[in-house]
Amino acid sequence: MMRSRSLLWSFNYAIEGIVYALRTQRNMRIHVAAALLVLGGSLFFRISRLEFIAVLFAIVFVFVAELVNTAVEAAVDVATQSFDPIAKVAKDVAAGAVFVASVNAVVVGYVVFFAPIGTAGEFLLTRVRQTPTHVTIIALLLTSLGVLVGKAITRKGTYMRGGWPSGHTATAAAAATAIAYISESAGIGALAAFIAFLVGQSRVENGAHTWPQVIVGGVLGFLITTAVFQVSWV
């Protein structure tokens, strides 16, 4: 019974360590976001089983390196409160491990996704050539104008920072919506929407906006771009 409880607590401690890294380490959150994007791309492009295993190992390698780096930084901070050259070496080497793992992940991703992304890119370029360029430009301009109007009404923040709605998120959402309409692909649209979400998340993380401001910006960009494309296709 005690052995079972000890095993259970060991899992609990491990999960607490992962949660701590996610809460305190920006790079860990970036790794997780990139992993979700890559896994989504794996499903969309239907890569082979061996390719998926390679991608999965690359992702796990990066996670393990980042967790070890976090542990080393915490241990060094506890051991010394002043500058120590040896402590700097420990932190630099741990960061180097994360860098090597990240480079390995990029190489694996390039090998696995180069061909399918190239095919999807050619299809998207073909659709772009068939769609009037001014439609997308008009959608982005109208979105920017809508953001300016919103900031003028609420009298909070500037276009680049703060206030209602989030200009960066609105523009990113407008671009993602345009990509979805041009490509006519749910998968490509989902990837574009995820990138727009990351833009909004970054605005919240750096304190420039709140989540309601980001959500309003995203909805504004989506609605304006949808209206422009619907009108242009009538």
User: Which residues form the catalytic set?
Assistant: 66
For the four alpha carbons of 59, 61, 67 and 72, in that order, the dihedral sign comes to: negative
Three-class secondary structure of residue 158 per DSSP: coil
DSSP labels, 84-107: -HHHHHHHHHHHHHHHHHHHHHHH
Amino acid at 159: Y
For the four alpha carbons of 212, 213, 219 and 220, in that order, the dihedral sign comes to: positive
Rounded to 10 degrees, the C-alpha dihedral 45/48/49/50 comes to: -120
Cis peptide before 165 (omega within 30 of 0): yes
Give Cα 20 distance to the centre of its chain. 19
- Phi first, then psi, for residue 82 (nearest 5°) are -125, 170
